[in-house]
Amino acid sequence: GLTADKHYTCIFLDVIMPGIDGYQVCKMIKARKSVKATAVVMLTSKSSPFDKIRGAMAGCDAYLTKPVDEERLLEVIAKFLPTTQA
């Protein structure tokens, strides 16, 4: 719901959340044309190949597993930060 009020460059989601899982939330975010360009990163302890495929099918832009490697996290964040033109 917050994506309707404000633009986000990147949203981090866990798969396990109360009431609705992160895959469903990701699908809902990606279905909205106004926020389709927003990057969705799954950050979760669910590390099976099946879980990663579900993330890709939901439309997530990156899938990171806990404990997350700090360098990989920084790479993912840098990938989705807007670049400024000099």
CA Rg value for the chain: 13
Average pLDDT over residues 63-80: 94
pTM: 0.84
pLDDT in tens, 50-70: 999 999 999 999 999 999 999
The strand order across the sheet containing 62-65 reads 10-13, 39-44, 62-65
Q: Is the pLDDT of residue 84 over 60?
A: no
Residue-wise pLDDT tens digits, 3-55: 667 788 899 999 999 999 999 999 998 888 877 778 999 999 999 999 999 99
